Structure 1
Amino acid sequence: MIKSLLVFIVVLSVCTLPTFSQLVPSPTDTSYVMELLKKGEVIETNQSKVALTNYQKAYEFSKKINYTKGYFESVRLMAYLLNNLGRHDEARKIAQDALQKAKQDTSKRNLGLSYFALANTALFSGQLSEAIPNYQQAAHYMRLIGKLKNVAVINQNLGYIYEQQKMYSQALDQYKRALSFDINDKKDRRSIAIDYFSMANLLSKQNKLKESQAYYLKAKQWIEQTNDLDFMINLYNNIGYQYSAEARYDSALYYQGEALRMSRQLGNPRHELHMLMSLAQTHNRMKQFAQAKTLLDKSNQIATKNEVGLAEFRNIYREYAVANEGLHQYKATAEWLDKYIGTNDSLNNQETKELLQNYELQLKQAEGRQKLAEKQRQIDQLELARQQQNFWLLLAGLLIISIVGGGIFGYLYYQQRQRSAENALLAAERERELALVQSELQGQQKERLRISKEMHDDLGASLTAIGLLSEVVKTRMGPNTTPEVEKISSISADMVTTMNEIIWSLNTKNDSLNGLIAYTRAYASEFIENTDLMLQTEVEESPSEITMRGIDRRNVFLTVKEALNNVVKHAQASRVILRMQPDDKQLLIEVCDNGRGFTPNAKSNLRNGLSNMQNRMAESGGRCEIVPSETGTCVKICYPYPIVPAEKILQT
């Protein structure tokens, strides 16, 4: 009886767990469904038929409006109540329908609830072998959604099934699994107590009394007496029974007396009857037959008043016979023995009748399952034929797709070959053009080298000779030197400088960014050295080798030269700064002085020089910006590097 009560408790606990929120089609419709379910739960214990009607209405309406949450909640409650009413076939039918719907819906929670309903139905109808795999499936889905408390309840029910089949090691393993989940939630003390209680009952059946008592005492630590008096009564009665069997009568009387006190406090006559019988049995074992008889009188009065079953009367008659025999009242002993034997025979006949009825029921269920299996076999054959038909259709479709795909692939491959051939011809043409360009470039480079060499050898020598001769004339004439001679000397010196710059720009060996930076820095130092200005250089070299066209080098250099020349002639400055900073994409140059500044439109000669600077940089793709201020002028030059490879730059 205690074990049956335990299974009822754990099954009910999992069925009343909170549900997950889902999207619902209409607040008005769905609220009607949930209201029906709530009303049914309130009256389920006392008005089971009315509650079942509410569940059925909610079930049908949920199917009508396709309300998934209401449907599975209705199945959960309706299957449980139908099983309690013994209508297992109906419960199994709605649970199977729910499972099919859950498989289409693919919700892990709904799958878990459907398998759980099927497992409970099998358990209630005594089909334990069918219950086990369904419980295992339910545990799998509950574990996936993280509902470990549900898994613990399933482990409890599996433990009960294995215990009924006398598979004690498997039962103990399931109870321990349930405890491993429940122990994580210390607030749920009752579930932990149930786990220990189940293990204690199991060990008691195996006569492992010391281990059993240890688990009973652990269960006692977790029970809250004020909130779970019924559980406390069962626990104390079991502990007292064990102590009585071990002849530890003081402990037995204590626990059985406490159980009797709590049963009276609870106001449950059936509990009080059982506790009085247990105390009477202990007193009989202690040979205190008078006390036992007094307790039996009270239990007999309660049994008669409450019309209990034959099993309770049989136990009372047996203990009466033992007590009267101990008091040497043999006539009364014989009377009680006759009553005991008669009741026991009636009870055995009743149990035999129930066994026969159960056998007939199981036979009908087996026949029904056989018919169902035959129908399922026919359905499977039809499904197999349909699948074969679909397979051949799919195969034909794949064949057609393969043929069409092959044709498309062949066409695309042909087009690709055509494009590849055209690209090869185009590449060959470009290669030829590149070879011509490179040949032309090499010719230009040779011509530039020849021109620079001839200018250096011939024109340079002539200009140098003119300069020397003008200096000789100046020396011979002394103070009588004419302005014309001075001018010849100055012009020849300027022409030598200009010629050197032209030769530098023509020489292909100088076609690099770092060459430009080095040449410009050297020129600035030499040029400013002959003035009263102080030169400050902030020059960096490029970490990578960057090729420049000769015209670009010349334009950048002449722009810097013009800026330095303007500082010397017009700025009236005492200091000039030359900054050259190459980065990844461009060369930045600044020529800044601390002079008096100027207005660009004030002097026409200066304005023309500035325009020339800007035009030169524009020709090379760069820019030149003049920034005047009261504290001086700053010329900012930006030269972006060419974006084509160095070998493709046409030198000019």
Structure 2
Amino acid sequence: MKIGIFYLLLLLPVLLSSANKIDSNNILVISNKAEDMMMSNHDSAAYYFDLGLKLCKSKGDILNEINLLLNYSRYNSTKGHYEVAFKNCKDANKLSEEYGITKYDFEIKMYTGLVYYNMGLYLEGLELLIDAQKLYLPKSTSYYKKAELDYYTGMAYIDIGDLNNGLDYLNSSISISLLNNDSLSAYKSYSLFTLVFQNPDTLNKYFDICENILKKHPELDYQKVVLNVNKAMNYIDQGNLKESRTLYIEGIHLCEKRGFDEYQVYLYNNFAYQLMYEKSYDSVIYYLDKASRIAFEIKNLAAQAETYDSYSDYYTKIGDYKNALKYSKLYIEKSNEFREQQKMKETRFLSAVFENEKKENAILKQQNEINKLWLYFIITIAFLLIVVGMTVYFRQRWALSRSKLETSEKI
């Protein structure tokens, strides 16, 4: 598969001169490649998205360009590139309006809501997701997108504390997916249930469902790692450290094999805490060092702060309070740096939103002014027609009266 993609890219100049059908197929291949890279290689994912958009523009393939922009928005939104994700949606909306394409209105609203949600603006995001629900048209929207929307809506409701509505939407997402024999789409909601419910029997039920789905899709290593970690944490709560250790080690091996860097930091950090519980202190520092190294390599401030906090807890456990205090101070410094970074992201995002609304209001105001001018023009034309009509009418009456008078005088 990879060799085929690289061969495709080498032949791209030749393929660009081929028929539109071939170009369209290539765009789909590139789009799929971008999505495949989303979890493991962020730079490559962005490269393929940009490549696909460039190809769309060169061939004037508006539908695929809009589709790519929306998928790119989903990617940027989940990776914390909120300003870029918002721009992706805005560009998709601009193309839709320019070419009179309404079939993507539903998705544009949905992914814009997802940007707000991932930004931490849950209420605003939920409002947009509900607006997207109102735009849903069964005949023009795939079941998969409706299931995706219900999943996001349910997730947003749960995050604002409305568990009942959240579960309703998640169950709706599952029902739609299973009705179309798509257990993979149902997986996301099932996996979220493993974080929502606390009853052991209920949890085991949903863990079993998720595992059975993943057995049918062995290529989904990332989802398997996440499920393993959720299950390991559940075993820790139950005091079953042996089972949780097995799941953590399996997850670590998969992460290292596939290069899931961001999740790898989280996994190493969590496993270090289990080792603290087991009093395996010699191994703790090994995994914390690995977590810290990757956190700095990928420049993730949140992960760096969490690692410092873990070092502080570790040194407290072994009675080295000097180092515990040192890392506690580093944790505070790095946390403050992370908060400042988040504030800057939020400021840039809100500025982009404000500028967009400002432009939209200016366009709306301009359109209103044009509408007013047209109204005045129509009123003026109508008035002139009335004046002309009245003039003709009275002239005809005057001519008729004069004619009658002349006839009367002759008689």
Partner of 1:274: 266
Q: How does 1:358-369 map to 2 (within 5 A)?
A: 358-369=349-360
> Cα 1:183–1:360, aligned 2, differ >3 Å: closer, same or farther?
same
Superposed, which structure 2 residues align to 1:431-450 within 5 Å?
Answer: none
Give, in angstroms, the shift of residue 178 of structure 1: 0.9
Distance 1:71 1:248, change over 3 A: same
Once the two structures are overlaid, the 10-residue window that deviates more, 169-178 or 334-343, is 334-343
Q: Quick one: structure 1 residues 298 and 58, their matched pair in 2 at CA, closer, same or farther if it must change by over 3 Å?
A: same
Residue equivalent to 2:340: 349
Query: Residues 278-289 of structure 1 correspond to what in structure 2 (within 5 A)?
Result: 278-289=270-281
Q: Name the % identity.
A: 12
Partner of 2:185: 191
- Kindly indicate whether residue 286 of structure 2 is the aligned counterpart of residue 294 of structure 1: yes
Q: 1: distance between equivalents of 2:94 and 2:328?
A: 51
Distance 1:355 1:240, change over 3 A: same
Deviation at 1:180, TM superposition (A): 0.4
Q: Is 1:34 aligned with 2:24?
A: yes
In the alignment, does 2:125 pair up with 1:128? yes
Q: Distance in 2 between matches of 1:298 and 1:347?
A: 20
| Matched ranges for 1:337-416 at <5 A | 337-378=328-369
Contact 1:95 1:118 in 2 (8 A): no
> CA separation of 1:376/1:246 partners in 2, compared to 1, >3 Å: closer, same or farther?
farther
Cα distance in 1 for residues equivalent to 2:87 and 2:321: 53
Q: In structure 1, what residue type is equivalent to 2:226?
A: N
Q: Which of 82, 86, 89 is residue 88 of structure 1 equivalent to?
A: 86
Whether the 8 Å contact between 1:34 and 1:58 is mirrored in structure 2 is no
Asked if structure 1 preserves the Cα contact closer than 8 Å seen for 2:106 and 2:132, the reply is yes
For 1:57 and 1:117, the matched residues in 2 are separated by 23
Opposite residue 58 of structure 1, the aligned amino acid is: K
Once the two structures are TM-superposed, the CA of residue 50 in structure 1 deviates from its matched residue by: 3.0
- Per-residue deviation, 1:154: 2.4
Q: Cα 1:211–1:389, aligned 2, differ >3 Å: closer, same or farther? A: farther
Q: Whole-Å Cα distance in 2 between the matches of residues 385 and 132 of structure 1? A: 40
- CA-to-partner distance for each residue in 1:400-457, whole Å, 9 max, x for gaps? xxxxxxxxxxxxxxxxxxxxxxxxxxxxxxxxxxxxxxxxxxxxxxxxxxxxxxxxxx
Post-superposition offset of 1:91: 3.6
**Contact 1:317/1:337 (<8 A) preserved:** yes
How big is each residue's C-alpha offset from its partner over 1:8-67, in whole Å with a ceiling of 9 and x where there is no partner?
xxxxxxxxxxxxxxxxxxxx86437526634753664234433222122233xxxxxxxx
Count matched residues: 341
Determine the C-alpha separation between the residues in 2 that align with 1:361 and 1:279. Answer: 40
Q: Which has the higher contact order (CA 8 A, sep 6+)?
A: 2
Per the TM alignment, residue 99 of structure 1 is displaced from its structure 2 partner at its CA by 5.3
Shift of 1:278: 1.0
1:227 match: 219
Give 1:326's aligned amino acid.
K
CA 386–240 in structure 1, closer or farther in 2 if over 3 Å, else same: farther
CA distance in 1, matches of 2:322, 2:96: 63
Residue 380 and residue 330 in structure 1: after superposition, are their counterparts in 2 closer, same or farther (change >3 A)?
Answer: same
- Show the 5 A alignment for 1:192-207: 192-201=186-195, 203=196
Q: 2:59 is matched with which residue? A: 58
The TM-score, its normalising length taken from structure 1, stands at 0.46
Q: Secondary structure at the match of 1:183?
A: helix
Q: Post-superposition shift, 1:379? A: 5.7
Q: CA distance change for structure 1 residues 315 and 133 in 2, over 3 Å: closer, same or farther? A: closer
**More moved, 370-379 vs 45-54:** 370-379
Taking the aligned partners of 1:57 and 1:386, their CA distance within structure 2 comes to 42
Structure with the higher fraction of residues in strand conformation: 1
SS in 1 for 2:245: helix
Larger relative helix fraction: 2
Structure 2 CA distance for aligned equivalents of residues 30 and 307 of structure 1: 39
C-alpha distance 388-131 of structure 1, shift in aligned 2 (>3 A): farther
1:95 alignment partner AA: N
Is residue 239 of structure 2 the alignment partner of residue 241 of structure 1?
no
Asked if the contact 1:79–1:121 (Cα under 8 Å) also holds between the matched residues in 2, the reply is no
**Partners of 1:219 and 1:98 in 2: CA distance:** 37
Structure 2 CA distance, aligned partners of 1:390 and 1:366?
A: 35
Greater Cα radius of gyration, structure 1 or 2:
1
Mark the CA change 1:113 to 1:208 in structure 2 (over 3 Å): closer, same or farther. farther
Please list, as runs of the form range in 1=range in 2, the aligned pairs for 1:481-560 lying within 5 A after superposition. none
CA positional deviation for 1:237: 0.8
Structure 1 residues without counterparts, runs of 5 or longer: 1-27, 60-69, 103-109, 393-652
Matched, 1:180 2:167: no
